[in-house]
C-alpha cells in the first residue's frame, strides 16, 4: 500500500514543544504540507536509502551537505526570510534559546555571533532554513535526497533533516553542546590551526614535537593533534595555543605549505572538550532519537548511522574525535567508473564544503550548488 513518509522532522515535531530538560518551549503549529516526502511506498521505506537510490538514475538523486562552526557571517538568513516557515523556524528558535537568534544573525555584531554558544545554534537554524528555501524552489531535490552529512555541529542539522530528531529537540541539544564547548574552551588557552601540506608533510610527527615543546614550557598533558581531515594533504590541527604557535614557527620543517589560525575559541575535537561530554550525553538521552530516513554519515568514522543508539553514542564521541570529512566524502561519492554523480547542495552559510568537495572529488563537485543564505538569488 502506498504511503508518504515525512522527511522533515523539524516540521513533524513543531506541535509538541521541546521535551528536553525542565523547560517546555511553546512552538508554532505543524505545517500543512511536510517539507520532504521522499519514500513513496512502504516497501521502499523498509528497504532503506541505498535500494531507493538504485531505482533512480544517479544523476536524479541528491545529497545535502550541512556546514559547521566557522561558516557563520553577519547577514546570514536575509536571503531566506521570504520563504514559507522560515520566520517560524526563527520564532521557535527564540523560544528554545531564550534570545533573538534572527536579530543576532542578521545584524550581529560579528564578535557576538562568533561565540561558540551563539554560532552553533545560528548555523544549525540557518542551514535548516536553507532547506526550506531549497524545498520551495526545487522540491524534487528534497524528494530525491538519498544522503546527508554535516560538518561537526552541521551533523545535528543533517539528522534533523533526515528525521532522526525533531527541530526543537535538535536545537536544544545544540544549545547544550555549544554552551558546554564554550565553557571548556575558556578553561584552557587553545585553538585550531588550518594546515595545507603536501604529500611529504609529517602531521603526526609535527604534533608529537609540538607536544614535547609544550612540556618544556611546563604544560602538563599537552594536546596537539589532527582534529579535521578535510581533503588530501589538508588538515586542521587542534590543541594548546603554544603547540600551534610552535607549528607555525617551524612549518617548513614539516613541509607545510601554509598555516592559518582559525577564528575559533578552543581546541575542538580533542580531549580538551571532555567537560562537554556529559551535558551532551544527558540531553541526547532525554530526546526521542529515531533512525534516519536517509543515509546520514557520521563525522567519527564516515559511515552511515544505523540506529538511534548509534546516533546518540557517536554524537557524543564526535566532540572529542577528529572530523573525518575527507573519508566521509569518499564514502558518499564512491562509485563505479562511468556512473553519474548525484546533485550536491550545500545548505547553510558559506561554500567551504563545496571547496573541500572539489579537492576530494572533482567529478562530484561538477554537480555541486550552494543555497545562498545572505541574499535571495532564487537558487
Contact residues for 136 (Cβ-Cβ < 8 A; gap 6+) = 83, 84
Please identify every residue annotated as catalytic. 152, 269
Question: Rounded to whole angstroms, how far apart are CA atoms 49 and 147?
Answer: 8
For 135, phi then psi, to 5°, come to: -65, -40
Question: Beta 224-231 vs 295-297: how paired, if at all?
Answer: unpaired
Contact residues for 41 (Cβ-Cβ < 8 A; gap 6+) = 1, 2, 3
Question: Rounded to whole angstroms, how far apart are CA atoms 255 and 170?
Answer: 41
| Residue 197 backbone class (left: φ over 0; alpha: ψ -120 to 50; beta: rest) | beta
Helices and strands in the chain, H and E counts:
17, 10
User: What 3-state DSSP class applies to 228?
Assistant: strand
Q: Bridge-partner residues for 208, per DSSP?
A: none
Amino acid at each position: 500500500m502506498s504511503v508518504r513518509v515525512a522527511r522533515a522532522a523539524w516540521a513533524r515535531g513543531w506541535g509538541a514543544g521541546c521535551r528536553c530538560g525542565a523547560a517546555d518551549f511553546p512552538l508554532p503549529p505543524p505545517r500543512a504540507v511536510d517539507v520532504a516526502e521522499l519514500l513513496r511506498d512502504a516497501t521502499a521505506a523498509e528497504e532503506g536509502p541505498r535500494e531507493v537510490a538504485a531505482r533512480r538514475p544517479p544523476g536524479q538523486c541528491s545529497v545535502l551537505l550541512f556546514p559547521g562552526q566557522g561558516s557563520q557571517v553577519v547577514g546570514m538568513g536575509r536571503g531566506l526570510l521570504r520563504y514559507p516557515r522560515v520566520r517560524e523556524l526563527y520564532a521557535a528558535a527564540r523560544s528554545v534559546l531564550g534570545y533573538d537568534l534572527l536579530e543576532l544573525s542578521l545584524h550581529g555584531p560579528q564578535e557576538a555571533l562568533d561565540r561558540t554558544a551563539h554560532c552553533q545554534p545560528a548555523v544549525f537554524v540557518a542551514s535548516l532554513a536553507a532547506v526550506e528555501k531549497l524545498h520551495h524552489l526545487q522540491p524534487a531535490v528534497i524528494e530525491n535526497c538519498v544522503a546527508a552529512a554535516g560538518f561537526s555541529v552541521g551533523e545535528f542539522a543533517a539528522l534533523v533533516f533526515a528525521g532522526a530528531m525533531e527541530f526543537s529537540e535538535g536545537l536544544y541539544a545544540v544549545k547544550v553542546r555549544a554552551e558546554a564547548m564554550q565553557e571548556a574552551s575558556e578553561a584552557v588557552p587553545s585553538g585550531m590551526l588550518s594546515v595545507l601540506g603536501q604529500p611529504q608533510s609529517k602531521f603526526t610527527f609535527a604534533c608529537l614535537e609540538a607536544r614535547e615543546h609544550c612540556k618544556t614550557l611546563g604544560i602538563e598533558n599537552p594536546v596537539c593533534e589532527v582534529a579535521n581531515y578535510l581533503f588530501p594533504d589538508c588538515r586542521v590541527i587542534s590543541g594548546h595555543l603554544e603547540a600551534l604557535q610552535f607549528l607555525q614557527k617551524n612549518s617548513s620543517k614539516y613541509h607545510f605549505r601554509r598555516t592559518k589560525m582559525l577564528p575559533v575559541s578552543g581546541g575542538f575535537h580533542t580531549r580538551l572538550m571532555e567537560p562537554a561530554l556529559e551535558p551532551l550525553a544527558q540531553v541526547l538521552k532525554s530526546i526521542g532519537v529515531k533512525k534516519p530516513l536517509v543515509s546520514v554519515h557520521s563525522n567519527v568514522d564516515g559511515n552511515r548511522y544505523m540506529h538511534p543508539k548509534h546516533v546518540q553514542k557517536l554524537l557524543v564521541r564526535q566532540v572529542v574525535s577528529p572530523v573525518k570529512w575527507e573519508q566521509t566524502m569518499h564514502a558518499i561519492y564512491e562509485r563505479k567508473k562511468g556512473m553519474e554523480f548525484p546533485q550536491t547542495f550545500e545548505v547553510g552559510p558559506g561554500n567551504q564544503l563545496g571547496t573541500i568537495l572539489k579537492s576530494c572529488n572533482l567529478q562530484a563537485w561538477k554537480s555541486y550548488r550552494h543555497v545562498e543564505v545572505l541574499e535571495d538569488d532564487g537558487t
